[in-house]
Structure 1
Amino acid sequence: MSARACTRSARRLRHSFQLHTVAPQSASPVPHPSVAGPPPPPPTPDVAQPEDRVARKRKQAELLQRGLSLRPNPAKPATALQKRFWKAVSIKETPDGHQIFLDSRPVRTASKNVLTLPLNKSQLAAAIALEWDLLVTAQQALKHHYIPLTSFTSRAVDITNADLQGNQTVREDIVTMVMRYLDTDTLLCWAPEQNRHTGKAEQREEGSESLRSMQERTAQPIIAYLTTTVWPGAEIQPSLSEDSILPTPQPQVTMDIIRGWISGLQPFDLAGLERAVLATKSLLVASRLLVEWSHNFQHLRDQKPDAPRFGIEQAAEAASIEVRWQTGMWGEVEDTHDVEKEDMKRQLGSVILMVHGDAR
Structure 2
Amino acid sequence: MLSGLRTVYRRPVVVRSGLLILKATATTLTIPVEHSFGDKTIENNEQTESNRLSKTMTKFWEKVGVNHSKEKGHYEIQLDGKTLKTPMGHPLSVPSNQKQLAYLLAHEWANLPDLKVKTHQLPLTSLAARTVDLKHSAADAANGSEEAAAKIGTPDDIRYNLLRYLDTDTCLIMAANDEYSGKLRKKQDDLYLPLKKEFEDFFTEYAKSHSDELLVPEGGVTLEHLDCETDGLRGNQQSLATQAIVLHWLKSLPLAHLVALERAVLTSKSFLAGASLLRSSCCDPTLLKELYQFNKNSPEDYFHRTVREIVEMANLETIFQTEEWGEVEDTHDVDAEDWLRNLTAATLITK
| TM-score relative to the length of structure 1 | 0.66
Q: What CA deviation, in whole Å up to 9, does each residue of 1:114-148 have, x standing for no partner?
A: 111122222221111012212466995xx523433
Asked if 1:186 is matched to 2:170, the reply is: yes
Contact 1:184-1:239 within 8 A present in 2 as well: no
Matched with 1:298 is: 288
Alignment partners' CA distance in 1, 2:105 and 2:338:
19
- Report the Cα distance in structure 1 between the residues aligned to 2:323 and 2:257, rounded to whole angstroms: 34
Q: CA shift at 1:349, angstroms? A: 0.2
Q: CA deviation at 1:86?
A: 4.1
Asked if 1:92 corresponds to 2:92, the answer is no
3-state SS in 2 of match to 1:89: strand
1:249-268 maps to which residues of 2 (within 5 A)?
249-268=237-256
Deviation digits for residues 272-324 of structure 1 (CA, Å, limit 9, x no counterpart)? 01000110000011011111212363214463423463110111000011111
The corresponding residue for 1:8 is none
Question: Is this contact kept in 1: 2:65–2:81, CA < 8 A?
Answer: no
CA deviations 1:247-272 (Å, max 9, x no partner) are 12112111111112112221101100
AA in 1 matched with 2:314:
A
User: Structure 1 stretch 259-268 or stretch 326-335: which is displaced more?
Assistant: 326-335
User: C-alpha distance in 2, partners of 1:224/1:119?
Assistant: 38
Name the structure 2 match of 1:333: 328
The answer to which of 222-231 and 275-284 deviates more is 222-231
Number of residue pairs aligned between Structure 1 and Structure 2: 264
Task: Flag the structure with higher strand content.
Answer: 2
Tell me the amino acid that sits aligned with residue 157 of structure 2.
Answer: D
Work out the CA distance in 2 between the residues paired with 1:264 and 1:298. Answer: 13
Match among 254, 277, 281 for residue 289 of structure 1: 277
2:223 corresponds to which residue?
A: 236
- Aligned match for 1:129, one of 93, 103, 106: 106
Residue pair 1:92, 1:101 contacting (<8 A) in 2 also: no
Cα separation, 2, equivalents of 1:274 and 1:128: 19
Name the aligned partner's letter for residue 277 of structure 1: V
Distance 1:264 1:88, change over 3 A: closer
Distance 1:325 1:154, change over 3 A: same
How much does 1:240 deviate?
A: 4.3
Give me the whole-angstrom Cα distance separating, in 1, the residues matched to 2:65 and 2:116. Answer: 17
Secondary structure of residue in 2 paired with 1:334: coil
Matched, 1:351 2:346: yes
1:219 aligned residue (192, 195, 206)? 192
Inter-partner Cα distance in structure 1 for 2:221 and 2:288: 21
Q: Aligned to 2:96, what secondary structure does the other structure show?
A: coil
**Counterpart in the other structure of 1:72:** none
Q: Distance in 2 between matches of 1:349 and 1:151?
A: 13
- 8 A contact 1:98–1:116 mirrored in 2: yes
Match of 2:265 in 1: 277
The answer to whether 1:312 aligns with 2:289 is: no
How much has 1:92 moved relative to structure 2? 2.2
| CA apart distance, 1:352 | 0.3
Distance in 2 (CA, whole Å) between partners of 1:90 and 1:249 is 46
| Separation in 1, partners of 2:58, 2:280 | 42
Query: Which deviates more, 152-161 or 240-249?
Result: 240-249
Listed one character per residue, the Cα deviations across residues 47-77 of structure 1 (whole Å, up to 9, x for unaligned) are xxxxxxxxxxxxxxxxxxxxxxxxxxxxxxx
Aligned runs of 1:90-129 on 2, under 5 Å?
90-94=66-70, 95-129=72-106
- Alpha-carbon distance change, 276 to 153 in structure 1, aligned in 2, over 3 angstroms: same
Answer with 1 or 2: which has the greater Rg.
Answer: 1
Compare relative contact order (CA 8 Å, sep 6+) and give the higher one, 1 or 2: 2
Return the letter of the residue paired with 2:92: L
RMSD over aligned Cα atoms: 2.6
Q: Note if contact 1:182-1:282 (Cα within 8 Å) is conserved in structure 2.
A: yes
Amino acid corresponding to residue 218 of structure 1 in structure 2 = L
Gaps of at least 5 residues in structure 1 are 1-79, 194-200
TM-score normalised to structure 2 length:
0.68
In structure 1, how many angstroms separate the alpha carbons of the residues matched to 2:242 and 2:57?
Answer: 51
